[in-house]
């Protein structure tokens, strides 16, 4: 029975999914801890009364919700920024446009553009981890709001 299960599941895929989920949970809680610390620091810096009855203007659920928004937007920006043309292709396009503006005939970067367009660059995993961490932050915000 154990051989059937191990053969039917791709062990590398399961391990990679678990690593992404684990890293996302760590990032979500680390980001929440930093944001809570920063919100507390902001309250102490702006108020002159430090008594025990001073309520924080930032409830934990709102801090976690703001974290979720920032993490998801950051992950989407990393995912969207991972495609497109490379820096070398952009330089070739700029040089070609400059040469055309001066009236010189040059060979354009058409072949390079066909080869280079929308090839992923490398921030896909970081973007995916941030998006999943944002989902975990949303779950944390709902958990804190109902506790």
Q: What are the boundaries of each domain within the chain?
A: 2-83+120-145
Half-sphere exposure of 24 (CA within 13 A, CB side): 26
**Higher model confidence: residue 88 or residue 8?**
88
Total-model pTM:
0.64
Please give the Cα distance from 38 to 82 (Å, whole number). Answer: 30
Please give the Cα distance from 71 to 69 (Å, whole number). Answer: 6
CA 49 to chain centre: 37
Mean pLDDT of the chain: 76
Please give the Cα distance from 139 to 146 (Å, whole number). Answer: 11
Do you know the residue count of the chain?
A: 147
Q: Please, what's the b/e burial string for 51-74 (b: 16 or more CB within 10 A of its CB; e: otherwise)?
A: eeeeeeebebbebbbbbbeebbeb
pLDDT digits (tens, 9 = 90+) for 90-143: 677 677 777 777 776 666 555 555 555 545 555 778 888 999 999 999 999 999
């Amino acid at each position: 029975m154990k051989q059937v299960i191990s053969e039917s599941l791709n062990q590398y895929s399961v391990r990679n999914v678990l690593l992404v989920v684990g890293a996302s949970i760590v990032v979500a809680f680390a980001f929440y801890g930093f944001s809570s610390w920063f919100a507390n620091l902001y309250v102490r810096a702006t108020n002159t009364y430090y008594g025990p009855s001073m309520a924080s203007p930032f409830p934990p659920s709102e801090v976690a919700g703001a974290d979720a928004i920032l993490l998801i937007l950051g992950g989407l920006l990393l995912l969207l920024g991972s495609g497109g043309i490379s820096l070398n292709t952009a330089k070739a396009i700029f040089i070609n446009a400059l040469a055309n503006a001066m009236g010189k005939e040059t060979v354009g970067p058409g072949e390079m553009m066909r080869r280079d367009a929308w090839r992923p660059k490398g921030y896909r995993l970081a973007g995916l981890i941030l998006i999943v961490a944002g989902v975990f932050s949303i779950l944390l915000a709902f958990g804190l709001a109902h506790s």
